[in-house]
Amino acid sequence: MKALVYHGTKDVRIDTVPDAKIEKPTDVVVRITTTNICGSDLHMYEGRTDVEKGKILGHENLGEVEAVGGAVVSVKVGDHVCLPFNIGCGFCANCERGLTGFCLTCALPGSAGAAYGFAGMGPYSGGQAEYLRVPYADFNCLQLPADAKAKESDYVMLSDIFPTGWHATVLAGMNPGDSVVIYGAGPVGLMAALSARIRGASKIMIVDRHPDRLQLAEQIGAISINDSKGDAVEQVLALTEGAGADCGCEAVGYQCHDHHGHEVPNLTMNNLVSSVKATGGIGVIGVFIPKDPGAVDALAKKGQIVLDFGKLWSKGQKIASGQANVKQYNRKLRDLIHAGIAKPSIIISHELPLDQAPAAYKNFDERTAGWTKVILKPTA
Ligand code: NAD
Ligand code: ZN
């Protein structure tokens, strides 16, 4: 089969590799019809993780079931399914509590959480390929309704960024009527804005410096804040009568930078502490990693940042973080799409065949104007 393979920093290629196959009776193989490029892929693409060369990337996957293992009971050949980026077993202590982003069975020994095509999250191949092996298929396949094909570009967002954006607002402790500030108007920040709107936020503020992304945020109903035009915190305070937002979301991660492009790993976290009100919650779904040899400073190399902890403490704020437990949300978010209430596909800028993925990585990585979210069609 054809697949997008990581060969090294900023070097991904379409290679011919062995077909994905059933390895355990609880597996299915899915013929991938849509698979997305994610901001998380860029951390690997930029050589800022320890992902191994030869890895097939791609964790935002949707397709049609091609083959079914002998122990699978609920999934049939031909079913249209969307796969959460996290791989869960369904029976470990964390999966049992719904914390499928922290599965203990599928993760590498001594860690929690597994995913397709991801650094540090197990030996699983990604789905930027013609076929994908799905472990524990009964648990991991989300069945799609009769409009699966018609709304494929919406449903594929259930694999990661729509649930992740939703999770950001949950981690932030957002309630209906709250104001929220979101740092990062990439695909994940935009999905956090969409989720905040559906969950009844009274005011959604989103910080970035790319006009095309900020414009999409406004279409979703957010107030855009361009931090290249003035200090982000001051702009949020001005919009909240000096108090700060009721809660905030981090949707950038450890490679956050100032608007000149200089990496400042603590920038978004300290901006959140300053622009969220006293007692407010901060939900961090932007990725931060424990070791980053490619980092700009000695602390960041060890996965550490200088946090305004005194300010956070005196404001009585709460921080919650981590990978999104996609399965906690994907079924109900699917129903919002089916009912016509959510349309996450509005952020898609490019729909391309798989063989154009290397160029798409380059453009998405450089945040070339207009490249917001790329979806790939391996069987096109
Ligand atoms: P992206 O890189 O396309 O978007 C990030 C955006 O942040 C960009 O538009 C950039 O201009 C902006 N930005 C950079 N520095 C900033 C700053 N100081 N202030 C405000 N904005 C700033 O990526 P994405 O696909 O939207 O993903 C965002 C983050 O979410 C990544 O770290 C990704 O790995 C992570 N992620 C986490 C989960 C999870 O489960 N927790 C799931 C998916 C993605
Ligand atoms: Zn993703």
Are 293 and 339 members of one domain? no
Nearest atom (ligand 1) to Cα of 257: 15
Q: Where is the domain boundary, 275, 293, 321? A: 321
State the amino acid at position 72 in one-letter form.
V
Best residue for ligand 1 mutational test, from 41, 169, 249, 252 (most atoms within 8 Å of Cβ): 252
Best residue for ligand 1 mutational test, from 161, 188, 361 (most atoms within 8 Å of Cβ): 188
Nearest atom (ligand 1) to Cα of 183: 20
28 in Cβ contact with 137 (< 8 Å): yes
Describe the chain by its helix, strand, coil percentages, rounded to 5: 30, 25, 45
Are 214 and 239 members of one domain? yes
Number of domains observed in the structure of the chain: 2
Q: What is the CATH number of the domain that holds 147?
A: 3.90.180.10
Which residue reads 């990496």 in tokens? 263
CA of 285 to the centre of ligand 1 (A): 9
State the amino acid at position 193 in one-letter form.
A
Ligand nearest to the CA of 85: 2
Are 145 and 278 members of one domain? no
Nearest atom (ligand 1) to Cα of 168: 41
Q: What is the pLDDT along the chain (380 residues), one digit of tens a residue?
A: 999 999 999 999 999 999 999 999 999 999 999 999 999 999 999 999 999 999 999 999 999 999 999 999 999 999 999 999 999 999 999 999 999 999 999 999 999 999 999 999 999 999 999 999 999 999 999 999 999 999 999 999 999 999 999 999 999 999 999 999 999 999 999 999 999 999 999 999 999 999 999 999 999 999 999 999 999 999 999 999 999 999 999 999 999 999 999 999 999 999 999 999 999 999 999 999 998 988 888 999 999 999 999 999 999 999 999 999 999 999 999 999 999 999 999 999 999 999 999 999 999 999 999 999 999 999 87
Nearest atom (ligand 1) to Cα of 210: 11
Ligand 1 pocket by C-beta < 6 Å: which residues?
38-40, 42-43, 160-161, 164, 183-189, 207-210, 213, 227, 251-253, 256-257, 267-268, 285-287, 323-324, 367
Q: Where is the domain boundary, 305, 321, 337? A: 321
CA of 37 to the centre of ligand 1 (A): 13
Given this model, what pLDDT does residue 84 score?
98
For 185, the domain range is 161-321
The protein residue whose alpha carbon is closest to atom 34 in ligand 1 is 40
> On the CB side of 230, how many CA atoms lie within 13 Å of its CA?
8
Are 192 and 206 members of one domain? yes
Are 298 and 156 members of one domain? no
| Three-class SS state of 189 | helix
Could you give the angle at the alpha carbon of 156 between the alpha carbons of 369 and 20, nearest 5°? Answer: 110
CA of 107 to the centre of ligand 1 (A): 24
Q: What is the CATH number of the domain that holds 221?
A: 3.40.50.720
Ligand nearest to the CA of 60: 2
Are 70 and 168 members of one domain? no
CA of 24 to the centre of ligand 1 (A): 35
Are 24 and 56 members of one domain? yes
Are 155 and 32 members of one domain? yes
Phi-psi region of 279 (alpha: psi -120 to 50; beta: other; left: phi over 0): left
CA of 191 to the centre of ligand 1 (A): 11
Given this model, what pLDDT does residue 294 score?
85
CA of 304 to the centre of ligand 1 (A): 18
Given this model, what pLDDT does residue 293 score?
86
Are 38 and 73 members of one domain? yes
Integer CA distances (angstroms), 15 to 50, 54, 76, 178, 338, in order: 21, 10, 29, 48, 36
Are 14 and 140 members of one domain? yes
CA of 25 to the centre of ligand 1 (A): 37
Are 109 and 212 members of one domain? no
Are 92 and 10 members of one domain? yes
Nearest atom (ligand 1) to Cα of 285: 41
112 in Cβ contact with 104 (< 8 Å): yes
pTM recorded for the entire structure: 0.97
